[in-house]
């Protein structure tokens, strides 16, 4: 059985066909496209109509491939959304989570509902761009949007609605809004009421693997396609990536590594108590009755922004060149806390790293290679810190770390991560989100029995590279300095 996965990341999107044949999964990328935000009027938005156009191009290329695809699913980043009017039409372009309209809003929300109460209800970490704070910002500056809106749809919900004409909020993305109560298994009415958010915007939540219609006649007619089933998959891309973790044990730790890094473990029930809130961990919905106890880490975004800054200066380094240059620099010369708010917005990241180094009394890295080494070593050491916190909160001890996602192509980062955590890293598959998307479709259609059969099949179908720790004493000393400089044990 063949399925189509649309995997939308924060910088690019892809359409991939997955074929399940002879107990082997084969994946073919048939369409790739940039996902670039648009700056207009001082605001940063997603180009959502272009994304929908690219989905249709992916459908056309699927048709041209000659492969008969039975169904499709969409996964994407979390927290962002579109508001629909009474006619079901989009009222405004969705904000990009890095837009500044939420600056200071989270603290204002806490004046109405304390942080402790929000976490007790939702179990979700505090990030300034969470949906709850975006809606509070809209209510403050554009109240007419909420007054006239009839539905809120997360990004995959919205794109799926345009394909099928059916509206549904999917579970894994719904939980990231910080408005969904896992104990009640629905949107939290007290939070909505306290923040004066219209409850009719939020309807029943459906779980991954739910059939939500088929391609509408307007789409099949325009593109010359037969009807195709559309499923809700684990529509938060990290949730899909976790589905694809080729774990041998039921207890495992994962790192989904890309523009963002997300590290955690799979749990049967949310871990909601003061210690989890202090460490700013989250309990996002997973597939098949699970939750993802994890923490967001800024990830390779910092390196990507450095590369863009250097390109604007005429320094056209490729990604592999930057990694190679970093390897030639002295080790452990400078550290940053990747999760410092300084590094969240787009901009001149090398200058911000220099400012952070001066602020913390460190030697400022001068060359691109030294800057990249600082970023990558800091990420590896932050991974160790978060892994130890994950073990504490889940009351587990992990024998190693599964890394999935595009970041595993950075072999140096994989090796440094193994050395930093003092445990093996199992890297693969790179296409984790897309493969997890496909796996849920195959389970929904009855081709696979459950998530563990899917994981066994993924393990047998895709290579996993093992990285063993090295230079243990040097990395142990570096971790002590890193914690002292970055104050990684400071709670939020």
Q: What are phi and psi of 112, to 5 degrees?
A: -95, -45
On whether both 300 and 198 belong to a single domain, the answer is no
pLDDT band at 384 (very low <50, low <70, confident <90, very high): very high
Mean pLDDT score, 422-431:
96
pLDDT for 466 beyond 60: yes
365 and 354 in contact (C-beta within 8 Å)? yes
What pLDDT was estimated at residue 371?
Answer: 98
Number of domains comprising the chain: 2
**How do residues 8-35 score in pLDDT, each as one tens digit?**
998 899 999 999 998 899 999 999 999 9
Residue 208: C-alpha distances to residues 172, 286, 313 (Å) = 8, 8, 45
Q: What is the pLDDT of residue 489?
A: 46
Q: Give the separation between CA 381 and CA 474, rounded to whole angstroms.
A: 12
The reply to whether 240 falls in a domain is no
Q: Which residues contact 351 (CB under 8 A, 6 or more apart)?
A: none
Token match 């970490």: residue? 125
Domain final residue, candidates 235, 262, 286: 235
Average pLDDT on 249-272 reads 96
What does the pLDDT average to over 407-423?
Answer: 97
pLDDT at 487 over 90: no
Same domain, 43 and 163: yes
How many residues are given for the chain? Answer: 492
Residue 437 lies inside a defined structural domain of this protein = no
Antiparallel, parallel or unpaired: β 2-8 and 12-21: antiparallel
User: Has residue 435 been placed in a domain?
Assistant: no
* Euclidean distance between CA atoms 233 and 438, whole angstroms: 8
User: Are 36 and 126 contained in the same domain?
Assistant: yes
Distance between first and last Cα of the chain? 47
Instruction: Please check whether residues 67 and 203 belong to one and the same domain.
Output: yes
Active-site amino acid positions = 237
Task: Tell the burial category of 194 from Cβ atoms under 10 Å away from its Cβ (0-12, 13-18, 19+).
Answer: middle
Residue pLDDT, tens place only, 158-194 = 999 999 999 999 999 999 999 999 999 999 999 999 9
> Do 417 and 332 belong together in one domain?
yes
Structure tokens of 325?
């240059």
Residue 476 inside a domain? The answer is yes
Our separate counts of H helices and E strands in the chain read 19, 21
Query: Is the pLDDT at 491 greater than 50, yes or no?
Result: no
Q: What is the mean pLDDT of residues 421-448?
A: 97
Residue 84 in contact with residue 91, Cβ under 8 Å?
yes
In a domain, 436, yes or no: no
d(CA 356, CA 245) in angstroms, rounded, equals 35
For the cut 80, the answer to whether the pLDDT of residue 300 exceeds it is: yes
Asked if 430 and 458 count as a contact pair (C-beta separation under 8 A), the reply is: no
In a domain, 455, yes or no: no
Say if residue 25 is in the same domain as residue 130: yes
Residue 451 CB burial class (10 angstroms; 0-12, 13-18, ≥19)? buried
Q: What is the 3-state secondary structure (H, E, C) of 16-30?
A: EEEEEECCEEEEEEE
pLDDT given for residue 248 in this prediction: 86
Same domain, 173 and 284: no
The DSSP letter of residue 96 is P
Can you tell me the distance from the alpha carbon of 141 to that of 472, in angstroms, rounded to the nearest whole number?
A: 52
| pLDDT higher than 50, residue 490 | no
Mean pLDDT of 303-313: 97
Give the residue from 203, 235, 267 where a domain finishes. Answer: 235
pLDDT for residue 488: 62
Q: What domain range includes position 45?
A: 2-235
Residues 216 and 266 in one domain: no
d(CA 381, CA 262): 14
- The residues pairing with 73 across neighbouring beta strands, listed in sequence order, are 5
Three-state DSSP class for 46?
Answer: coil
Structure tokens at 299: 């990830």
The first and second tokens of residue 247, run together, are 């774990």
Q: Structure tokens of 349?
A: 């990241």
Segment 93-104 mean pLDDT:
96
Label residue 348 exposed, middle or buried (CB < 10 Å: 0-12, 13-18, 19+): middle
Task: Give CA–CA dist 273/270, Å, rounded.
Answer: 9
- The yes-or-no verdict on residue 421 having pLDDT over 50 is yes
Average the pLDDT over 220-247 and give the result. Answer: 97
H-helix or E-strand spanning residue 175: helix 171-175
Q: Which CATH number belongs to the domain containing residue 395 in this structure? A: 3.30.420.40
Q: Is there a domain that residue 219 lies in? A: yes
DSSP 76: B
Mean pLDDT for the chain? 96
What integer pLDDT is reported at residue 338 of this predicted model? 96
Q: Same domain for 99 and 168?
A: yes
- Please report whether residue 440 resides in a domain: no
The angle formed by the CA atoms of residues 292, 297 and 299, to the nearest 5 degrees, is 120
Compute the distance between CA of residue 354 and CA of residue 298 in angstroms, rounded to an integer.
Answer: 17
Residues 253 and 229 in one domain: no
Residues 260 and 303 in one domain: yes
Are residues 360 and 261 located together in one domain of the fold? yes
User: In angstroms, what is the C-alpha Rg of the chain?
Assistant: 22
Mean pLDDT of the 351-359 span: 98
**Residue range 287-296: mean pLDDT, rounded:** 96
Domain final position from 235, 267, 293: 235
């Amino acid at each position: 059985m063949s399925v189509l996965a649309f995997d939308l990341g924060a910088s690019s999107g892809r359409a991939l066909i997955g074929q399940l044949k002879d107990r082997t999964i084969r994946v073919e990328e048939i369409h790739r496209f940039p996902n670039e935000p648009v700056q207009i009027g001082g605001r940063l938005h997603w180009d959502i109509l272009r994304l929908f156009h690219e989905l249709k191009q992916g459908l056309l290329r699927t048709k041209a491939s000659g492969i008969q695809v039975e169904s499709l699913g969409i996964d994407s980043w979390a927290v962002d959304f579109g508001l629909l009017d009474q006619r079901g039409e989009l009222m405004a372009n969705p904000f990009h989570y890095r837009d500044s309209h939420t600056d200071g809003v989270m603290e204002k929300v806490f004046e109405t509902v304390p942080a402790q109460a929000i976490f007790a209800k939702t179990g979700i970490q505090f990030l300034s761009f969470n949906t709850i704070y975006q809606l509070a910002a809209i209510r403050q500056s554009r109240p007419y949007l909420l007054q006239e809106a009839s539905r809120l749809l997360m990004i995959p919900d919205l794109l799926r609605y345009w394909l099928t004409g059916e509206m549904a909020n999917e579970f894994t993305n719904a939980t990231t809004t910080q408005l969904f109560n896992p104990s009640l298994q629905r949107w939290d009415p007290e939070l909505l009421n306290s923040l004066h958010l219209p409850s009719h915007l939020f309807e029943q939540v459906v779980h991954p693997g739910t059939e939500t219609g088929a391609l509408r006649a307007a789409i099949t007619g325009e593109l010359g396609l037969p009807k195709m089933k559309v499923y809700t998959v684990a529509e938060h891309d990290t949730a899909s990536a976790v589905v694809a973790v080729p774990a041998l044990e039921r207890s495992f730790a994962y790192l989904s590594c890309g523009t963002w890094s997300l590290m955690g473990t799979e749990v049967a029930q949310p871990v909601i108590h003061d210690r989890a809130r202090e460490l700013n961990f989250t309990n996002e919905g997973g597939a098949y009755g699970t939750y993802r106890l994890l923490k967001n880490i800024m990830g390779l975004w910092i390196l990507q922004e450095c590369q863009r800054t250097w390109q604007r200066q005429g320094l056209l380094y490729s990604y592999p060149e930057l990694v190679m240059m970093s390897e030639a620099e002295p080790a452990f010369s400078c550290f940053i806390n990747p999760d410092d708010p300084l590094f969240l917005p787009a901009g001149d990241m090398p200058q911000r790293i220099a400012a952070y180094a001066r602020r913390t009394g460190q030697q400022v890295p001068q060359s691109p290679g030294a800057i990249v080494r600082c970023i990558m070593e800091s990420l590896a050491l932050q991974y160790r810190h978060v892994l130890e916190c994950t073990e504490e909160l889940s009351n587990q001890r992990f024998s190693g770390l599964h890394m999935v996602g595009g970041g595993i192509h950075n072999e140096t980062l994989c090796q440094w991560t193994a050395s930093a955590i003092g445990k093996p890293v199992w890297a693969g598959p790179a296409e984790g989100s897309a493969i997890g998307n496909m796996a849920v479709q195959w389970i929904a259609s009855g081709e696979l029995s459950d998530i563990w059969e899917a994981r066994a099949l993924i393990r047998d179908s895709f290579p996993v590279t093992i990285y063993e720790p090295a230079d243990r004493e040097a990395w142990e000393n570096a971790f002590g300095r890193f914690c002292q400089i970055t104050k990684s044990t400071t709670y939020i």
